[in-house]
């Protein structure tokens, strides 16, 4: 019998995990091995060690701004696979525009201890917020949060629960509205698991579903980015989050963009910089204008 396709592997994995009672693990695909570091791409960086509330030791990289004046800081929450050594490719460009970047690994990823879980990765996001805002060289009111895929969903719920000073804004690219909902969609997309989509999805804990927390972000500005060709997390998830959120909130639908790939287009990056600067100047409405035209990824960086 031929091996299942890559698209079929996701619901099959969810099915297996559910039957084994490990529903949460179907959302996490961590790797311990690093595939490089920022220095190999010509970027200065600082290793950062910090601790989550339950004592789990975590690891991250701080990329300093490459300009004389630091405009602000960006906390990056990556997606569900690999680790920061691959996801740093999404934010490497920010330091040359005056933004310091703090990227970190959830528990079980890269050099962070422990094993991932829904509760754990949200603790890790809160710990990262605490770690970056407690630095003497970081002003919390000039902090932006950028989450992608799983990281976007975690960022929404974690920030809604954050008791510290609110950041200047949050960007969520490719966020799913709920864990149970995205699992049901994946199970329903494969003939073998289609009849079981509702009972199996019901086994998944939805305590941290962003759709139930997104309205608590206000008055922090929220920018939701969805890819028009995102087949992993369909744009409808971002649209539902937009409808559930309070003002100020904005939705960019990037025509032709695939999952968590919008920032591969230099025009999207340019508009995001303008959004960050608008948030820092307390002019969110004037800044959050989406890029025009279909997605046009740039050549990979050497």
d(CA 236, CA 134): 36
Burial of 282 (C-beta count, 10 Å sphere; 0-12/13-18/19+): exposed
At residue 104's C-alpha, the angle toward residues 91 and 230, to 5°, is: 55
* Structure confidence at residue 14 (pLDDT): 47
CB 140 within 8 A of CB 164: yes
* Structure confidence at residue 1 (pLDDT): 34
pLDDT tens string, the chain, 302 residues long: the values are 334 445 445 545 544 444 444 567 778 999 999 999 999 989 999 999 999 999 999 999 999 999 999 999 999 999 999 999 999 999 999 999 999 999 999 999 999 999 999 999 999 999 999 999 999 999 999 999 999 999 999 999 999 999 999 999 999 999 999 998 877 777 666 666 656 666 666 678 899 999 999 999 999 999 999 999 999 999 999 999 999 999 999 999 999 999 999 999 999 999 999 999 999 998 877 777 888 889 999 876 54
The two structure tokens encoding residue 201: 């999805």
DSSP 215: G
From the CB of residue 120, how many other CB atoms can be counted at a distance below 10 Å?
20
d(CA 273, CA 269): 6
Which residue ranges form the domains of the chain, and what is each CATH number? 6-287 (3.40.50.1820)
CB 66 within 8 A of CB 78: no
* Structure confidence at residue 50 (pLDDT): 98
At residue 275's C-alpha, the angle toward residues 234 and 96, to 5°, is: 105
């Amino acid at each position: 019998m031929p091996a299942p396709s890559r698209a079929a592997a996701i619901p099959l994995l969810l099915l297996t995990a559910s039957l084994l009672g490990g529903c949460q693990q179907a959302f996490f695909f961590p790797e311990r091995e690093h595939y490089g570091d920022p220095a190999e791409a010509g970027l200065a960086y600082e290793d950062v060690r910090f601790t989550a509330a339950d004592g789990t030791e975590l690891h991250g990289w701080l990329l300093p701004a490459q300009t004389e004046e630091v405009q602000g800081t960006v906390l990056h929450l990556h997606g569900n696979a690999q680790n920061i050594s691959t996801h740093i490719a999404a934010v490497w460009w920010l330091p040359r525009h005056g933004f310091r970047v703090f990227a970190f690994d959830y528990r079980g990823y890269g050099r962070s201890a422990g094993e991932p879980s829904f509760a754990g990765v949200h603790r890790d996001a809160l710990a990262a917020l605490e770690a970056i805002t407690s630095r003497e060289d970081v002003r919390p009111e000039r902090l932006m949060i950028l989450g992608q895929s799983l990281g976007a969903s975690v960022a929404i719920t974690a920030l809604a629960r954050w008791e510290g000073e609110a950041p200047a804004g949050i960007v969520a690219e490719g966020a799913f509205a709920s864990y149970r909902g995205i699992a049901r969609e994946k199970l329903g997309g494969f003939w073998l698991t289609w009849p079981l989509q509702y009972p199996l999805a019901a086994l998944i804990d939805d305590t941290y579903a962003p759709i139930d927390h997104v309205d608590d972000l206000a008055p922090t500005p929220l920018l939701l980015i969805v890819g028009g060709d995102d087949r992993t997390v369909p744009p409808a998830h971002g649209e539902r989050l937009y409808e559930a959120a309070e003002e100020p909130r904005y939705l960019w639908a990037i025509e032709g963009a695939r999952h968590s790939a919008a920032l591969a287009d230099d025009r999207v990056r340019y508009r995001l910089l303008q959004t960050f600067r608008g948030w820092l100047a307390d002019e969110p409405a004037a800044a959050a204008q989406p890029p025009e035209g279909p997605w046009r990824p740039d050549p990979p960086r050497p």
